[in-house]
Every structure is written in C-alpha cells, then in structure tokens.
Structure 1
C-alpha cells in the first residue's frame, strides 16, 4: 500500500505549458441570459476525415496506426500505409454494391477490422452506424430498433456465428452480412481482395463534407434512442477547436490507449483525434469492471499513454490498483500528461486521491479535462485547459457558443450552438424541431453553475440532468443529479454507484451498489452488507444539511448488478437513473417499507 500525503497548493501541474491561454468572451443580456464563446482560434484541419486519413497515409506511411492484442497476447500492428491500402479496397467493394442508398451498420466491438471498415466507408462516402456490441446478445430489441431507423444495406459482424440467430431475426431479407468467420453472406477476405478504389485522390476530393458521415444513437434515457446525423464537416469543425486546445498535451500525435466503444462519441472522438494527428492507437481489451480491469492495467503499464480517458468509475478502480502497486504507479505516471473523464461527473474525493498518488510518484499533478458534451454536440465540446483542483466541465471549445438560461439562484440550463452541433435526427423531424429553441440553440437538458460567478474564467461545473430532477410528495423539488454526486462524494470508496429515489414519497432514498475493493480497504476483507450500510449511514449523517430536498434519508444495497439489457447501464459504465428506477420498483417499494437491510438515516 502506497503512503500518500495530502495534495499541496504549491504542487506543479505537468505539461500545463502545452495548453493555449484561456480566451473567453462573456455576453450578458438584460434578461439574465449569458452567452459564452472561446476567443481561441481553431487549427486548420481537412474538410473530410478521408482527406486527413489520406494525408497521414503518405506522411506516416510506415508508422503504426492501430494495434490490438492477438491470440498470443502480443500487439498486432497495422501501419498507416497498410490501413489506407485496405480502406481503398473496402471502399471499392462498397461502391460496387450499386445500392441507391448504401448504409453500413457495424455490430462488433472495437477492433482493427472494425476500424478498417470505418476507414473504407469514410473513403467511399458511405454513411456508417456502429451500434453497441451489447445490444446484439443482451438487448436485441434495441438492435432491432437501430436497424429499423438506419435501414442498413450492409452489416459487418466480425464474429457472426454466435449472433447469427439474432441478426436473422432483425435484418430485412437481402441484407448483406460481412463477417470474418465465414458465417455471413460475404467473407471479410472477399472484401479485402477487391480491387482498390480507382482514382482515389479525385474521389476523396469530391466528397460532400455536409453529407451524412455517421449515424450515432443517443442514450435513450427518455425513450428509444434517436439517431443523430453526423457529417464530416461537423467532426472536422469540432477537431479544429479540439486540436487547438488538446492535440499536443494529449499525445494524440504519439500514442493512445482506449477501450471506450466507437458506437459512442466519447470513444470515437479519441480514434478520430489519434488518426487526424498521426498517432498510434492501441485497442484496450480491458473494461472498467472487476473481471476485465486487470487487462487495462496491463496495457497501461506496457503502452504508457500520455493521455488517459475513461468514465469516472474507472478512475476509482484505477486509484485502488495504483495504491496497491508502486511499480504500476511509476509506469502509469511516467509519461502521463492529461486525463479526461466523461459520461458522468467525477467526484472530488476520487480526483483528490488520484492527484495525491501523482504527487507521491512524480512530484507533479496531472491536468484533468472533461469530455463534457453529448451525441448532439458531436462529442465533448467543453474543456478545462488551466490548472485547477476543482472538478468541473470547463469552458466552451473554439467554435461553440454556450447559452446559459437562469434556472434558480445559481444554476443555468445549458444550450449549444456551433457548426458541429446537431443538424437533425435521422428521419425524425418532430424530435429535431423539439431539440432547438427559438434562436437555434440545442437544448442540452443539463444544468450548470459557476465555480465563482465573479470569475467566469474559472469555468462551470455540472449541476445535474434536468430530466433526473423530481418532486417529493410534499411538493419539495429534488435536484437528483446534485444529490447523487454529493452522495457518491461522501461515501467514496465504499459506494460505487447509486440510484436516487423519492418521487411520490416524503423523503429522498438511495439504492446503492458497493465497490468491493473500497469496502475491503475501509471495512476489512470480511465485511458484510450490514457493515457497509452502517459505514455509509455514518458518512451520510456527516453530509451538510440541506433539508428534505438534499438529504438522503433511506438507504439499501443492491446486490444484483446494473442490467445492461434493460438499459440501466451503458457500455461506458454510466447509470441511466430513469431506467433503473423504472426497472427496480420492487426495490424502491422495499426501501420505503423499511424492509430488512434498509437503513433509515436519523
């Protein structure tokens, strides 16, 4: 176990000089609305991903573009030149299918073959949709919905044998299925053996940057997921600003290790950033789960990325592992320059613990930024680019205008406008119309607040999803996101996640999942659920008082994990509060009936 000392205010942040100066324009309207814009200029980028990829294939021909573990556990590498050659063959095959409205759907996890199919579709100008691999086996109804919305003509299923029945049940007759295991209608070898796209340079130059590039599904927290239409223009405009802020410090031009799925903007943006900047991308075969996180730790020790991006839950698991292994800690921090979290808020105790480990190991703190944004904003669109010990979402990236509409004394609803913000949902004009206000700003549905209202340059912090707020039966309004984050901060590391309850009840309750490693560290390896609940109750009692709206009054432990098939957890590891409450009505009833193992906080 590593002995650590508290983070000191005099500590130095590593690589902070690689960020540009903070530039912010603040416009305040008489009605209290505030408009925020970055004054930092963007960097030139190609007009399409294919154009940037083609440039890198020449300038970085022999360098590794992407690598993944092979059956023997070694890194199998594909160079930029090799990837481009295969992309031209895939593009040639796609365009020879002669369908009037060609669309590709990928139903496989991150892999070299997945990346090559994406590269080939991008070069061909054929829109592509990657759906969550978890949908294939555990949530086939969501896969069926995705097929109904996107109407793919080609499906790439890397290993189709195990999912053949599911595909047959959701795909229309005549859909071409490409697979690497021979279980589809076309083999991967046949595609890669096709003649390369002729006159590729002219074809890429003629691609329409405003045409559909990708369809990416929303989380579906308020209904079935919607398909957002992304364009080359939007992604390239986003990276014009993202590169200006993060390209150098992130090491996108050197090496990146990542697991986050390419069916989500968080994971896909890391792949895009690596390729456009000519870096090496390593596919992490680990996940932030007890069963698979060991693989991530092995990969981190070998690759030593300059940039570590993950969901907040992974940082908690990482701190446990680093605290227990000084050699791993030294390898991890040796070259690290930047961390990014997205998908949910990072709790302050986890952030502080991470920085304590960094200071103990390398004598410096590591800069943290956010991937704050959504599918509709193409990817993360706000960022922290200055030294701070305060967890937050930062300020707008170049090219984005953020409109802040007052909600109450200190919170604002955030709305976005930019070239890279949603132009529309696929074949859903009603949802598209509802998504925008009268000035054309996208309604994010998120609440933000200032770190310091008198110093806007310090940025904003997340203050909850408006859809997660509810009323008690007394009429008292509960900021669900705020209470949720406060509970996690107070009960770290014992509590891994929580579902807030209380609608139609007189007080706020919480159903929690335990973090086994944190429980063992705090309570000993022989702890019981009752031991954990008593510890949690003691911490909750110490939380600052905030009346019935901010005080968790009832607690119980959930022993079964979040159900992916029922939409409770995304494949990024984040919890869908609304779906969890809907699915766990019996647990909520027991919580308010004071069943055994329920704690009422006095």
Structure 2
C-alpha cells in the first residue's frame, strides 16, 4: 500500500520537470525563463465555466455549510452557469461597468462566487474587499477610501445586520444597490432574487464581447501606509496564470478528481486567483472552509477536513502549525490525511523549517513516505503566480522557477539580487493611478515587485530560488552588516517555537538585532500552566514563558555566524496585530514596516537598558 501511494504521489509523476535558461547580461543582471512555451490560454474565466457546464454538468462545483453539524449545500456546474447567466442579466440591467463595478464585502461563499462570476461573465469587474475592513475596523477609513475610488454600482453583503455599521459609514460615498445573501433581510435586494432574473440576449452578446484585455477584477493591496491600491486584474492575467499552472502541475491535465477544501479569502490573490481559479479551470470541486487558522476557529477547519479530504492541502504557515498539532493528537485524521492528500502547498510566507520537518516526520511515520511539499511566489500584481516550485525541494523556502511565459530579471542591489517580473500574468497597473503605475515598471517593462531572491545553486537555475526578503525591509547594523529581515524572521519563529506566532525584526541603525514578538497566547498559557482566564499580560510575563524565549534566542545565536543572524533581545507584545493599523491581513501576514511605525514605543522599550520588560538572550 505504501509503495502504491508513493508511486501515485511521486513528484516526478505529479509535476513537469523544470527547464530554465539564464541569460547573464553585461550589466550584471540575469534574466531567467522557462524553456517550456506557454500554450494557448482561455479567452476568459467564463469560458471555463461554460465548458464544464457542458462536459460535467452534474459534478459539484461549490459546497458550503453553515456549521460543522449541518450538511453541505452544493451547486453543480449546470446550476452554477444558470445562476451566473441570470445574475449577469441583472448586472447588465443595472448598468454596472468598470466605472461602476460590483463590490463584495462578505466572506467566501457560494453566493459570493456566483456573483463574482456573473459580473466577470459580462465584462464587469468585481472587487472583493476583505471583510476585516468592514467587521473588525473601528474607523472604516480604508473601506471608505476603497469605495470612494471604485464608485460601485452594487455592493454584496452576506447579511445587512453584521455589516450595518460599515454600510452606514460608506452610505454617503456611493449610489450602489445593496445585495444581501440573507433571505430575511428586507432592507436590500436578495441574491436569490437576482439569481432568478430571466436571462436576456444581452448576456450572450456581452459574454461574446469579453476579451483577454477586459478587466476581470480589482484586488486591493494591504495599504499598510496610505490608501490601499486597486490592482487591475485582466482576464489574460487570470487565464495565463492557470494555463502555466496546468503545464507545471502535469497531473491536472489527466486527473478529474481535484477537490479542494479552502478558507483562504477571495479578497486576496492566493485564495481567489490561485485556488478558486485552479478548481474552475480544471473542473474540480471547491468546498468553502468556514474556519481559519485562528484560536477558536481552527476547530471548524478540522471538522470540515474530517468531512472532506482534499486532493491538495493549501494553507499558510500558521495553518500548518495548527494542523501538525492536530494531526499528532488524532490517529484517524492523520491516516486519512497522509493517505489521500497528494501534496501540501504553502505560500504567502516562508514555512519555518521546524514546521516542514514536523510535517515530514509525521508523514513518514504514518505512511512510510514524505508528503511532497511545494510552494510558489508572486503578488497581487502577478495574479499571483510568477514562480512555482513544481519539484520536491530539499528544505523549506524554495519558491521554485519562473512559470512558462514569465521572465524574471535579477538585478544586483547591494549584496542582494532584486527580482523583477514580466509576462502576461502581470498587471497593466493600478486603477485611476497612472503616476503610480508608471513608477512600478522599469524601462524594459519588468514589474518592480520589491523582493530579493537567491539561487539554490547559481550554476543550476532549475534547482530554484529562495526568497531573500524585501529589499526595502532589510537594514544595516552600525557594523555595516546587512540584516536579512525575511530570512531572520523565519529562523526566529523556528527558534522560539511554539511560543512565537510571528516576529518583527528591528535594530535599524543600532549595534544589535532585536525582536518584537507576537506570542501564541494559547501555547504560552499552556506552557506556563495557567488557566484560560489568565490575563494576557500575566501569561507573557510568566517566568516559564520568558525562560523559553531566552533559551530560543540563545539557540538562534548558536546557529548564527554573525551579529546579523540573531537577536539579543525580544519583547512579547500583549496587543494583537491591528487591522486598522495595517499591521496584519486576514491571512495572518504581518507587515513589518507598519508594526515598527505603529509600535515605536515598543521599539524604544527594547532599546532601554533599564527596562525589565524585554527578555535577553540566555547565557
């Protein structure tokens, strides 16, 4: 049985073999590209839906459930295309367009998906805005700026009551119709009414007029400083990205058993353009996971995982941390997971090596094989795929190689290689921001993404690249030594595991590196032996917790060869990362610069020799 599983999930049968050429130029730059040409792409996302509605009309396309005790509500491809065409008729009748797009404030769900597809079907952009800006924000400033920029013609919420404060805050800024997914709402037009609109000939005409250059959606960047930017996503960007994925993930073309259980938000490119479109392009099934890797919510994800085992398991590093802990305590779930999942995929942030090792250890122990673990790299502006690690890397952090049709230009920048991207998957720019758009591309048309990379082996580019931090985040110590923030952050999380949930690296202009630590309060509380009712400040100030952090700093120092590779002090933060402050996204990613700006007082505490709050390196 083990040998069969190994053959089925062998990376050599799952993925195409990387073949990369490197053009080393006289100016020191290196252009990398795949020797595999990008094949013809679909005209638009709607062509995928129409195809599967004809080829596999009764296959489940989408599923969701209100709670872990409820049955799954599902929609087949046949049902989906009918509701999409009906909703598209309503959208056209309202005069929606790029200048009056559809805005969605709600979490992932079937209605959300069908409305998005309906707008895109007839050439109207959609814009999913993170629910955090509506449900967690206190001032709604970023939501207001987004609505002011977009001037939507319709706004969808899952229910008017939870979104009442946000809707009230933006009400003077638009003239949009409010759509609700809650059948009990009398103060909005109901989605079920829109989905029952009689289809008109105008729908087919508008669908036929969609081109690869038609704007499919606007996706917002995090907006850590100033107003969030609306990234234009064309149909070509979305279809070329998935075509490249199909060519690198070779099993997609042969298999018709693609099932994904996913929580990643559709307001971000990873959840929407990568995962959702992966299912739609390949005729798979997507079950919406109502949980997420957060205290009190991951239990829902686990219950859903016990109900629906996916073909590919997607998550962010925090999710893998929580999954590994759950698998260790559940023999049946562990056997099913490693027996049925083809491979695991992490993205958005590097997976700390301790999590990679933990998942590999559990996999070998359970099934006799190492579960393939792969990753990718890109941004909202690259829809999101720019590189793909379609091979089994030797360790965590390998972001792979350029996908077919996409070129990377590596430009020397100090002691780093700044990476730039060009291809059909790259945005034409930012909505209503021509000056910002012009600043975003170099003279050769490469997108300035702001990241740095390093080769796994400079002589063998096919072995992939490693993310080497944000060029703007790295800094020098007084010694002149550069601190690679991205690399050190990941190493720090591993060294302080499991008590550190995330780390912000500081020490700019000083002699030493220091850490601001967002603690895993549940893990800290358990380690200290404190009850659930214990105050956060008492938890992070407990001697047992402080001792583990001090030992972790010492461990990192022992592994490091110089002062830039470890921190001498750490400060545990009692206040969670702020959405309004731009410190965190709803995927759980921490913005280093925003945290350092907002928490200047905490940085000052780390620099205060007399303070008893910070924790020093043991020994």
2:549 is matched with which residue? 536
Distance 1:35 1:184, change over 3 A: farther
1:197 is matched with which residue? 200
Are 2:168 and 1:165 equivalent residues in the alignment? no
1:4 is matched with which residue? none
Are 2:383 and 1:395 equivalent residues in the alignment? no
Pairing partner for 1:120 from 118, 122, 125? 118
State the shift of 1:210 in Å: 0.4
Offset from partner CA, 1:121-179 (integer Å, 9 cap, x none): 11121111000011013231111111122111111112112222321321435321111
1:5 is matched with which residue? none
Q: Which moved more, 1:200-209 or 1:42-51?
A: 200-209
Query: How many Å separate the matches in 1 of 2:470 and 2:177?
Result: 40
Offset from partner CA, 1:527-566 (integer Å, 9 cap, x none): 8733222222223223333433333011121122222232
State the shift of 1:199 in Å: 6.6
Does the Cα contact within 8 Å between 2:258 and 2:285 map onto a contact in 1? Answer: yes
1:178 is matched with which residue? 179
2:567 is matched with which residue? 552
Does the Cα contact within 8 Å between 1:105 and 1:130 map onto a contact in 2? Answer: yes
Does the Cα contact within 8 Å between 1:370 and 1:380 map onto a contact in 2? Answer: no
Query: How many Å separate the matches in 1 of 2:120 and 2:462?
Result: 38
Distance 1:99 1:561, change over 3 A: closer
Are 2:473 and 1:468 equivalent residues in the alignment? yes
Are 2:265 and 1:261 equivalent residues in the alignment? yes
How many residues are matched?
591
Offset from partner CA, 1:375-420 (integer Å, 9 cap, x none): 01111221111222222111111111001112345x3111000011
Does the Cα contact within 8 Å between 1:26 and 1:34 map onto a contact in 2? Answer: yes
Does the Cα contact within 8 Å between 1:41 and 1:241 map onto a contact in 2? Answer: no
Query: How many Å separate the matches in 2 of 1:572 and 1:253?
Result: 27
Distance 1:499 1:142, change over 3 A: same
Query: How many Å separate the matches in 1 of 2:483 and 2:106?
Result: 40
2:311 is matched with which residue? 306
Query: How many Å separate the matches in 2 of 1:184 and 1:209?
Result: 37
Query: How many Å separate the matches in 1 of 2:228 and 2:217?
Result: 15
State the shift of 1:480 in Å: 1.8
Does the Cα contact within 8 Å between 1:91 and 1:121 map onto a contact in 2? Answer: yes
* SS of residue in 2 equivalent to 1:365: coil
State the shift of 1:459 in Å: 0.7
* SS of residue in 2 equivalent to 1:322: helix
Are 2:77 and 1:77 equivalent residues in the alignment? no
Pairing partner for 1:563 from 578, 583, 586? 578
Pairing partner for 2:613 from 581, 586, 597? 597
1:153 is matched with which residue? 153
Are 2:456 and 1:451 equivalent residues in the alignment? yes
* SS of residue in 2 equivalent to 1:394: strand
Distance 1:174 1:199, change over 3 A: closer
Distance 1:99 1:323, change over 3 A: closer
1:93 is matched with which residue? 90
Query: How many Å separate the matches in 1 of 2:242 and 2:166?
Result: 37
1:406 is matched with which residue? 412
Distance 1:483 1:75, change over 3 A: same
Query: How many Å separate the matches in 1 of 2:515 and 2:542?
Result: 15
Pairing partner for 1:51 from 42, 47, 50? 47
State the shift of 1:221 in Å: 3.5
State the shift of 1:63 in Å: 1.1
1:188 is matched with which residue? 191
Offset from partner CA, 1:504-549 (integer Å, 9 cap, x none): 4432111212335655787777887332222222232233334333
Pairing partner for 1:61 from 57, 62, 67? 57
Does the Cα contact within 8 Å between 1:554 and 1:592 map onto a contact in 2? Answer: no
Equivalences for residues 196-275 of structure 1 within 5 A: 196-198=199-201, 200-246=203-249, 248=251, 253-268=257-272, 269-275=274-280
Query: How many Å separate the matches in 1 of 2:406 and 2:509?
Result: 39
1:8 is matched with which residue? none
Distance 1:142 1:253, change over 3 A: farther
Does the Cα contact within 8 Å between 1:523 and 1:531 map onto a contact in 2? Answer: yes
Over the aligned positions, Cα root-mean-square deviation in angstroms equals: 2.3
Does the Cα contact within 8 Å between 1:350 and 1:492 map onto a contact in 2? Answer: no
State the shift of 1:231 in Å: 0.7
Q: Which moved more, 1:216-225 or 1:153-162?
A: 216-225
* SS of residue in 1 equivalent to 2:249: helix
Query: How many Å separate the matches in 2 of 1:337 and 1:524?
Result: 38
Pairing partner for 1:110 from 108, 113, 117? 108
Does the Cα contact within 8 Å between 1:247 and 1:277 map onto a contact in 2? Answer: no
Query: How many Å separate the matches in 1 of 2:322 and 2:126?
Result: 34
1:141 is matched with which residue? 141
2:10 is matched with which residue? 15
Equivalences for residues 420-431 of structure 1 within 5 A: 420-431=425-436
Q: Which moved more, 1:319-328 or 1:43-52?
A: 43-52
Q: Which moved more, 1:184-193 or 1:109-118?
A: 184-193
Distance 1:102 1:556, change over 3 A: closer
Offset from partner CA, 1:245-269 (integer Å, 9 cap, x none): 1262697852111000000000002
* SS of residue in 1 equivalent to 2:472: helix
* SS of residue in 2 equivalent to 1:467: coil
* SS of residue in 2 equivalent to 1:74: coil
Query: How many Å separate the matches in 2 of 1:452 and 1:364?
Result: 26
- So what's the TM-score if we normalise by structure 1? 0.93
* SS of residue in 1 equivalent to 2:318: helix
State the shift of 1:85 in Å: 0.6
Query: How many Å separate the matches in 2 of 1:374 and 1:123?
Result: 24
Distance 1:360 1:99, change over 3 A: closer
State the shift of 1:348 in Å: 1.3
Does the Cα contact within 8 Å between 1:68 and 1:77 map onto a contact in 2? Answer: yes
State the shift of 1:203 in Å: 3.8
Query: How many Å separate the matches in 1 of 2:472 and 2:204?
Result: 47
Q: Which runs of 5+ in 2 are unaligned?
A: 1-5, 532-538
Does the Cα contact within 8 Å between 2:147 and 2:170 map onto a contact in 1? Answer: yes
